[in-house]
Amino acid sequence: MFDELQQRIRDKQAVIGVVGLGYVGLPLIDAFVSRGLKAIGFDVDASKVEQLNAGRSYIRHISSERVAAWRESGAFEATADLRRLNEPDALLICVPTPLSDSRDPDLSYVEGTARSIAAVLRPGQLVVLESTTYPTTTRDVVLPILEAGGLKAGQDFYLAYSPEREDPGNPVYSAAGIPKVVGGYDAHSLALASALYSHAVVKVIPVSNMEVAEACKILENTYRAVNIALVNELKMLFDRMGIDVWEVVDAAKTKPFGFQAFYPGPGLGGHCIPIDPFYLTWLARRQGLTTRFIELAGEVNSRMPEYVIGRLADFLNDAGKPIRGSRVCVLGAAYKKDVDDPRESPSFVLMELLLARGAVLTYNDPHVARLPQTRHHNLPEMTSVELTPEFLAAQDCVLIATDHSAYDYAFIAAHAPLVLDTRNAMRNIERRENIRRA
């Protein structure tokens, strides 16, 4: 079976199955289909399946034209029928791994997917978990579920872990342009997974086991979370001292070694950075250890929305207005500039805090037309408002939460009475009394 699957992969005859057609799954399909392989996409969301089969995309950086081309070439189809999970030669699991209300890892999507695969798993298939998770998940959680039907990993089927690496909105680092770390259950699993990904990505980095690959992803995002916490804390200090933290960072990054620039913001967003460090702290507690440095970084970052609202309250107070009853428009619902991805966006927390204090809230985002419903935020149904001169002039304060390139910041500064800037988006605008940073 190993030789047969290896040959199918080598000849690009292997069919790829991607489970979870979101911000990770669709770019991964693009990477494989663009290199001449066929793919089947699986998702329990029937609306996603319907849109993709009609040649329409719901993710901004994967165009509808591209999806239509996949369909026209016969290289791709989407389905919600999980009984077909035995058709692909390789199954790549790209489902969400959120946190529970108690900030413990929620592996229900991974476990559910593994059970669906186990129900139809056939000899000779390769299964790869890509969802971000804590070390030992693939071996201790996924493996027993897959083997429950009697097939054995490394003998009847093959198992690996390869962490997703995706930078939405960055065309340089698409899924195909980012090196891929791969860890296998055994030597055969590693060889097959490495050969498979070598068709789709710029470089494959094999590591000794699945746990190293899992820990690699956690390290990457914890590194970023800790350094963002550092500059967020410095921002609060330097603001009090009248020092421009963005200018400080820009000056520091002129050093050609020993420094990497990170910038402050209103909080952390995206699926990975706000969540992954908590996987690690949870795992440490299970090992009888505490990760105080990581936990402190999480506290600093999670405190930033409160800090921003405090700055907004001061700004309004100086204008003789309380937050209660003031009209506040939040610019940006996506978690980062120029993407349509609102996952874990700090804007949701900012909006909740503003509503709790009685603000009359609106928002604008050129890439997020309607606020999505989320598990952890209780916000009313809202749609993006149009930024007209009349609308901006009627606001008491405009809060820049996401610095989309589509915004005309000079236009905003000219018409809004007050602008609170959390992203240094107004850096090229002439200094005005109606603009402050937070």
Q: Which residues are catalytic?
A: 272
Spell 238-251 as b/e; 16+ CB within 10 A means b: bbeeeeebbeebee
Burial (0-12, 13-18, 19+ Cβ within 10 Å), 83: exposed
Whose CA is closest to 396, among 411, 416, 410, 422? 416
Question: Which H, E and C letters describe the chain, residue by residue?
Answer: CHHHHHHHHHCCCCEEEEECCCCCHHHHHHHHHCCCCEEEEECCCHHHHHHHHCCCCCECCECHHHHHHHHHHCCEEEECCHHHHHCCCEEEECCCCCECCCCCECCHHHHHHHHHHHHHCCCCCEEEECCCCCCCHHHHHHHHHHHCCCCCECCCEEEEECCCCCCCCCCCCCHHHCCEEEEECCHHHHHHHHHHHHCCCCCEEEECCHHHHHHHHHHHHHHHHHHHHHHHHHHHHHHHHCCCHHHHHHHHCCCCCCCCCCCCCCCCCCCCCCCHHHHHHHHHHHCCCCCHHHHHHHHHHHHHHHHHHHHHHHHHHHCCCCCCCCEEEEECCCCCCCCCCCCCCHHHHHHHHHHHCCCEEEEECCCCCECCCCCCCCCCCCECCCCCHHHHHHCCEEEECCCCCCCCHHHHHHHCCCEEECCCCCCCCCCCCCEEEC
Q: Are 399 and 379 within 8 A, CB to CB?
A: no
